[in-house]
Amino acid sequence: MPESDVFPHPGAGRAPGEGWTQSTPGFGRWLHDFTDGTWSWSEEMIAMYDAGLSNPGDVEAVFARLHPDDADRVRTSLERAMRTGAPLNGQYRFRTDTRGERVFAFFGDPVRIGRDMVVALRGYTIDVTDHVQAVARGMATEMVEELLGERSSG
């Protein structure tokens, strides 16, 4: 497949400023080509993972860095999408080389030839670590305030 088909610009067809740029931090693109079994990652994806990945890539190297509680769920979701041609999405924790554990959200769609023949999965991954941490801090603060309020009224 030509690279423009593998990693089409997600802002294509939009006015300047309305789409994503090629170098959006924390945003990467990926493709799993069923015809030859290869995985490809955009340069942004490789940088975001911070794990020494190469292109074409070894998905097992990615799974080796997933949090053990997330790996089976992500693998099952991926296998289901490959088998059925359904879209997929999810979230997982990933161990990077220099930035510790990060949280990534992913979504992907089948690439079809005609109506029925699925030849690949193509998708996007977003680093949502800062958002997840902010939500967790907010929830913890609310819980502490609630406990302190109960203690002072009781």
Question: Of the ranges 8-12, 73-77, 135-139, which is most confident?
Answer: 73-77
Residue-level pLDDT at 96: 94
pLDDT at 154: 61
- Give the Cα separation of 137 and 132 in Å (integer): 9
Give CA–CA dist 43/36, Å, rounded.
21
Mean pLDDT of all residues belonging to the chain? 82
Domains, the chain, in order of start with CATH, read 25-153 (3.30.450.20)
* Global model pTM greater than 0.85: no
pLDDT at residue 4 is higher than 70:
no
pLDDT at 5: 52
pLDDT tens digits, residue range 8-30? 444 444 343 444 444 446 899 99
**Predicted pLDDT of residue 145:** 79
Instruction: Give the pLDDT score at 19.
Output: 43
Angle at CA of residue 139, ends 136 and 141, nearest 5° = 110
